[in-house]
Structure 1
């Protein structure tokens, strides 16, 4: 308790105005200003510690919120990854079918509708891929990029720089900014 009959330092008295009595030591008339100052210092340290704890808790909450927002965005952007990988085999088969159609069959009036339908299906599948952020990786004529291409063979070539892709065996695909499937390619090397 504070003895109001004793003269005290006005700053200490001002600091202690809002402090409940249970936080102050019960003292007798002989309590000196040193113990009051010690109690005040303890309260200040407790307050600083509480402020730090609150700041750490706020920072942690903000970090959790950011991680959650990133996880939600990733889930939204890449949810179709497994399905897209499976559909790529359909694309491969459709592409092989279109490439295998001979010119004579393309000009045959009886088969023209079938050929047109297969080509339209391929164009539609490519359009759907683009709508969902799935794009083909450029390969032939490009330098080998191990992040996007998988070199399957080396081909001797005097015309191309070594490390340049000269043949694409299987197309590569990206979904947004992630690799969905690397392009399997043949790379030029110096002739022996």
Structure 2
């Protein structure tokens, strides 16, 4: 190796040594930048999750509020069903000859008007009487109390002991029914 080559090698070593701190600083800056980018991505993800959770909570609260409004009167309506049942039983118990009696006509007409008004109130509040006779037994809406021999297919409701009611789209009270049994 010549002196010239040795001098060039020495110069190259000195340049490399001088550039090493700059490269190290650049690498450290890149690492810090990458770390900050990762933290930013995590923060963006956390904000998106928080926003989605807030929307879900708001939707849930709106649904619960709507359900509370729609079904708030459920317990009260259930209590009124026994009043409606007793009124219907009372009207059914009046014999035909008493219905024609001039003294009883006013009472019977008043009881019938009360029954119609009660049905109108039920209707205004989304309470509907279910029809059951002739339908297939559905344990979601009917409660079978007994089986009867019948010409109907097995599992068909043939007698209703107590009417079932719905409030909006929910069951308020199941119908108590007698079901045809297989012969």
Query: Structure 1 unaligned runs (5+)?
Result: 1-27
Root-mean-square deviation (CA, aligned residues, Å) is: 1.2
What is the Cα deviation at residue 32 of structure 1?
2.8
Partner of residue 187 from structure 1, selected from 151, 165, 179: 179
Aligned residue in 1 for 2:71: 78
| Distance in structure 1 (CA, Å) of the matches to 2:94 and 2:136 | 31
What is the rounded CA distance, in whole Å, between the counterparts of 1:142 and 1:123 in structure 2? 25
Q: Which of these two proteins has the greater Rg computed from alpha carbons?
A: 2
State the match for 1:110 in structure 2. 103
Structure whose residues are more often helix by fraction? 2
| Mapping of residues 41-60 of structure 1, within 5 Å | 41-60=34-53
Sort the Cα spacing of 1:37 and 1:30 in 2 relative to 1 into closer, same or farther, 3 A. closer
Q: In the aligned structure 2, how far is the partner of 1:124 from the partner of 1:85?
A: 17
Distance, in Å, in 1 between the alignment partners of 2:36 and 2:182 is 79
The yes-or-no answer on 1:135 pairing with 2:128 is yes
Mapped partners of 2:57, 2:164: distance in 1: 35
Alpha-carbon distance between aligned partners in 1 of 2:173 and 2:54, rounded to the nearest angstrom: 37
Partner of 1:66: 59
Which residue of 2 is the match for residue 174 of structure 1?
166
Q: Per the alignment, in what secondary structure is the counterpart of residue 111 of structure 1?
A: helix
Q: Which residue of structure 2 aligns with residue 162 of structure 1?
A: 154
- Matches of 1:62 and 1:30, distance apart in 2: 48
Mapped partners of 1:45, 1:119: distance in 2: 76
Aligned-pair CA distance for 1:39: 0.9
Within 2, Cα distance between the matches of 1:147 and 1:35?
69
Which blocks of at least 5 consecutive residues in structure 2 are unaligned? Answer: 1-20
Structure 2 CA distance for aligned equivalents of residues 36 and 29 of structure 1:
10
Query: Which stretches of structure 1, 4 residues or more, deviate above 6 A after TM superposition?
Result: none
Normalising to structure 1: TM-score of the pair?
A: 0.82
Question: Does residue 38 in structure 1 map to residue 34 in structure 2?
Answer: no
Match of 1:87 in 2: 80
